[in-house]
Amino acid sequence: MTWTLPLRLGARDDTLDIEHGALLDALRRYFDTSEGTELWDETRAEARAIEMIWRIGWRVGKQNFPLKMLENLPKWEEACRLKPAIGTPDVERRAALAGKLRGLGGNDVASMIASAALVAGKNFTSGNLIDPSDVVSYWPGINPGPPGYEFSSSFATLGIQLNKNGLSEAEFLALRNKVIENIDDLRPSWMTYVIGTDDTFLFGIGIVNQSVVA
């Protein structure tokens, strides 16, 4: 039994037809180039060779873009000290590399957020610095914080909010760890960050590794 689809899925690549048409137009003035002639078949084969050259050029050009890399991906991963686990899908490896390279230009807040967004992809929700009006600071002897946080402040804290859409708990934690690795390499020493799924955090109530300071 033969199955046929009622419509074409995906865009049609007209490169071969365009190249073939250009060759036929150039020769039509001097030769019979109608379909079925030997010349028509020969130029079709020549057009196929030209198409292959174009495709090679496109493939080589993609080697400079982390989200499209093919053969160069392992080399750039090694250069950036990335060690993906065996079986990691190429799309995740490219996203991790893109996030790593995004941070090479600087460690400003915008770069940190962009890096997290590249690594997390569709599971990235938002990234923001805590609003100054919401900053909480603790000072020993004046306004000491809870045990372990007697001298602490949420000033200069970046909150990265992710979502678990389509991910198991283990997959989410693995993704979160990848984001952490990138942020750790990027953040200035005086800056802190939190990564999770919620948009608020209440001391003693928020879920560890999932609640984000607002």
> Coil, helix or strand for 154?
coil
Segment 21-46 shows an average pLDDT of: 90
Is the pLDDT reported for residue 206 higher than 50?
no
pLDDT in tens, 45-76: 999 999 888 888 888 877 878 888 888 898 88
Same domain, 49 and 129: no
Residue 88 maps to a domain: no
Domain that holds residue 42: 15-62
Query: Quick check: is 171 in a domain?
Result: yes
Q: Tell whether 154 is covered by a domain.
A: yes
Q: Tens of pLDDT along 118-175?
A: 889 999 999 988 777 777 788 887 788 788 777 777 778 888 999 999 999 999 998 9
Cα–Cα distance between 103 and 119 in angstroms, integer? Answer: 11
Q: Is residue 127 part of a domain?
A: yes
Mean pLDDT value across residues 182-190: 83
Q: Does residue 136 sit in the same domain as residue 187?
A: yes
Please tell me whether residues 109 and 191 are part of one structural domain: yes
Residue 200: what pLDDT?
Answer: 52
Q: Is residue 91 part of a domain?
A: no
Cα dihedral 171→176→182→184 (10° resolution): -140
Number of domains in the chain: 2
Asked if residue 184 is part of any domain, the answer here is yes
Residues 122 and 179 in one domain: yes
Quick one: 115 and 183 in the same domain?
Answer: yes
Say which amino acid occupies 158: L
- Average pLDDT value over all residues in the chain: 81
Instruction: Give yes or no for residue 207 having a pLDDT over 50.
Output: no
Residue 109 shares a structural domain with residue 56: no
Domain membership of residue 41 (yes or no) is yes
Is there a single domain that holds both residue 192 and residue 126?
yes
